């Protein structure tokens, strides 16, 4: 007769140990898989959060650029003046025009005026109080006068050289009173409108 403990023999206890070890191994395996799953999910959540943060950072940078006032750095002012100095002499006086009650456009027009005054000895006048809602920067002449390409191309290139994308436009005869001095024929204008 074999020895028993709690009414069970050694074979039963051996089987109980084997089953217990199997249950413990399964529990350990399940715990390891669950831990790995948690790590993977957290890693993906962190990557998604990083991506969202990066998108927000890029959106903020874009917004900062949109609200940052246009200004010419001293380097850009020098580059613009140097580029203008290389162009052929301009047969027209030039008016640098900024909008009424638009401090940002006025400051930017002042920067441009300073650069233009140093480049090529251009005869230029600073004009303020333009009553308009035009956007961006453009070179223009009064309706009925055509800007020769020999004048417009070097100015556009000089502006582009400092990342100012200007256009060419015509000032309608009906709009010539949108500045107190009135737009004049046979004069070239650099119009500084609302920041796009």
What average pLDDT does the chain have?
90
- Rounded Cα–Cα distance for residues 173 and 182 (Å): 10
The values of phi and psi at residue 14, to 5°, are: -60, -45
Query: Which of 130-150 are b and which e, b meaning 16 or more Cβ less than 10 Å from the residue's Cβ?
Result: bebebebbbbbbbeebebeee
* Domain range summary for the chain, segments of one domain joined by +: 1-68, 74-192
Tokens (6 digits) for 47: 């990557």
Beta bridge partners of 100: none
For residues 18-46, average pLDDT = 91
Residue 1 has pLDDT above 80, yes or no: no
Task: Please report, rounded to a whole number, the percentage of residues in the chain having pLDDT higher than 90.
Answer: 58
Q: What is the pLDDT of residues 51-96, one digit of tens each?
A: 889 998 998 988 887 889 999 999 999 999 999 888 888 888 999 9
DSSP string computed for 52-120: HHHHHHHHHHHHHHHHSPP---HHHHHHHHHHHHHSPPPSS-EEEEEETT-HHHHHHHHHHHHHHHHST
Whole-number pLDDT of residue 120 = 62
Q: What is the pLDDT of residues 95-154, one digit of tens each?
A: 999 999 999 999 999 999 999 988 666 678 999 999 998 999 999 999 998 899 999 999
What is residue 181's three-state secondary structure?
coil
Q: What is the DSSP letter of 5?
A: B
CA 6 → CA 16, 21, 95, 176, 192, distances in Å? Answer: 13, 20, 109, 112, 99
Whole-number pLDDT of residue 14 = 87
Beta bridge partners of 171: 142
What is residue 79's three-state secondary structure?
helix
Q: If you search the block for the tokens 């028993």, which residue do you land on?
A: 4
What is residue 125's three-state secondary structure?
strand
């Amino acid at each position: 007769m074999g020895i028993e403990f709690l009414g069970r023999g050694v074979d039963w206890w051996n089987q109980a140990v084997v089953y217990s070890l199997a249950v413990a191994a399964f529990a350990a395996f399940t715990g390891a898989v669950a831990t790995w799953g948690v790590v993977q999910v957290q890693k993906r959540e962190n990557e998604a959060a990083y991506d969202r943060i990066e998108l927000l950072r890029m959106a903020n940078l874009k917004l900062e650029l949109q609200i940052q006032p246009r200004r010419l750095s001293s380097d850009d002012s020098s580059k613009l003046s140097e580029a203008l100095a290389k162009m052929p002499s301009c047969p027209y006086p030039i008016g640098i025009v900024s909008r009424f009650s638009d401090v940002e456009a006025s400051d930017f027009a002042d920067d441009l005026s300073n650069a233009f005054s140093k480049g090529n000895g251009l005869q230029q006048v600073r004009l303020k109080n333009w009553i308009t809602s035009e956007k961006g920067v453009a070179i223009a002449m009064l309706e009925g006068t055509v800007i020769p390409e020999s004048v417009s191309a070097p100015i556009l290139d000089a502006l582009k050289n400092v990342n100012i994308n200007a256009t060419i436009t015509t000032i309608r005869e009906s709009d010539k009173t949108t500045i107190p001095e009135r737009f004049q024929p046979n004069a070239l204008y650099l119009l500084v409108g609302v920041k796009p």
